[in-house]
Structure 1
Amino acid sequence: MFPIKGESALLLAVVFGFVFGWLLQRGKVTNYNVIVNQFRFKDFTVLKVMFPAIIVGGIGVLVLTNMELAKWHVRDANMLGTIIGAVIFGIGMVLYGYCPGTGVAAIGTGSIHALVGAAGMIVGAVLYAFSFEWVRANILSVGKLGKVTLPQLMHVPAWTIYGALIVIAIALFAWVEKSGK
C-alpha cells in the first residue's frame, strides 16, 4: 500500500469533503430546524444519521488499523479540557443550530445565518489560539491522562466498545421508531 500525498491528497480531501457535505444535505442535517428539534426531542434525524456514521466510521478505522493500513494518532486525554470543550460545543450547537460540519454544509446550501455562525466559530478559534498558553497551563493540565484510549482505560478490547455502541444504537433506534419521531 502506498501513502497518498501531495496534490492527490488535496484532491481527495476536496472530493471527500464534497461527498460528506452532500450526504449531510441528503440526510437533512443541514437544516437548522432539524438540529434544533433534536435538542428539543421532537426530531431524531440527527441521531439516525450521525450515530450509524460514527459506528461505521469507527469500525472502519479499527479494521484499517488492524490491517496496518492506518495508524492511530492518539491525543492526550485532558478531562477538564474535554468537559469544558463539550459544554462550550453543546451550548454553541444549540445557539447556532449546527455543528461545525453541518454549518459548513449549510453554507453550501446558501444559508446566510450559517455563514454568520461560521464567522463566530472563526472568532472563537482565534481567541482560543491567543489564549492557548493560559489554557494549557490552567485547564489542559487538570485531569491529564496522557495518550490513552477508552479501551485502554477500561482494560477491554476495542471491539467490546464498538459492540456496546452497536447495542446502544439498536436500542436507541428501536425507542425512536416506537416513539414515532
Structure 2
Amino acid sequence: MELFFGLVTGVLFGFLLQRGQVLRYDKQLGALRLKDMTIVKFMLSHIMVAMVGLYLLNDLGLVKLSIKSTVLGANILGGLIFGLGWGLVGYCPGTSVGAVGEGRFDALWGIAGMLVGAAVFARAYDGLLGTVYTWGDYGKITLPSLLGISHWLVIVVLLAAFAGILRLLERKGL
C-alpha cells in the first residue's frame, strides 16, 4: 500500500511540476540567473503544504517522522555537487525526468548525471562515513527542538515568512 501511495503522490507531483511550468528549461535557467522565480514560488508553496500536512499527520499518529542527522559537511558537499550539476545541465534530477516525459530529450543529460552521481556516491559511501559525514555532525535536530518550542509555532512563523516572500516576489513580477 505504501508503494501505491508513493506512486500516486509521485504522479501527482509530476503533474503539478508540469502544470507549474517548472519543467521548462527557460524557467530553470531563469531561476539559476535569479530572473524568474517560478521554481522558487512553486517549491515554497509545496514546502508550506508539506510542512503542515506532515506534522498534522504525525500529530494524528498516522505517520512517524524519521529525522535525519544534521551533518554540515555532507549537506554542503552534496549541495555544491547538486548545484553544479543543475547549473551545467539546466535541469535538476526530478525536473529532468518530467522534461523527458514532455519530450525534451536534452534532459536525458540530467538523468545520466543523476545515475552517474548515484553510482559514484554508492562507491564512495564507505569512505565518506569516516570523513565528510563527521564534519559538523549536530545529530537529529529540528528547529522546534533547538528552540524548545512547539512545532506549530515554528510552522506558523515559517508560513507567515514564506507567504511574505511569495507576496514580495509577485509584487516584483518575478
Query: Percent same amino acid at aligned positions?
Result: 36
Contact 2:97 2:107 in 1 (8 A): yes
What do the CA deviations read for 1:98-143 (whole angstroms, capped 9, x no partner)?
Answer: 2222121111111111112211110111011101111110110121
**Which ranges of structure 2 fall in alignment gaps of 5 or more residues?**
none
1:151 and 1:99 mapped to 2: Cα distance? 30
Q: How does 1:105-116 map to 2 (within 5 A)?
A: 105-116=98-109
Distance 2:107 2:161 in 1: 31
Task: Pick from 85, 88, 92 the counterpart of residue 78 of structure 2.
Answer: 85
Give the match for residue 18 of structure 1: 11
Q: Secondary structure at the match of 2:70?
A: strand
- TM-score, normalised to structure 2, is 0.92
Structure 2 counterpart SS, 1:144? coil
Counterpart of 1:112, as a letter, is F
Query: Deviation string for 1:75-105 (max 9, x for gaps)?
Result: 1221111111112222222222222221211
Pairwise CA RMSD of aligned residues? Answer: 1.5
C-alpha separation in 1, matches of 2:83 and 2:158: 21
1:174 alignment partner AA: R
Q: 1:99 aligns with which of 82, 92, 110?
A: 92
Q: After superposition, where does 1:52-71 map in structure 2 within 5 Å?
A: 52-71=45-64
Structure 1 residue ranges without an equivalent (≥5) = 1-7
Aligned length, in residue pairs: 174
Partner of 1:153: 146
Pair 1:96–1:154, CA change in 2 (3 A): farther
Name the counterpart of 1:30: 23
1:179 aligned partner: 172
Question: 1:46: how far off?
Answer: 0.8
> 1:173: Cα distance to partner?
1.8
Residue 4 of structure 1: aligned partner: none
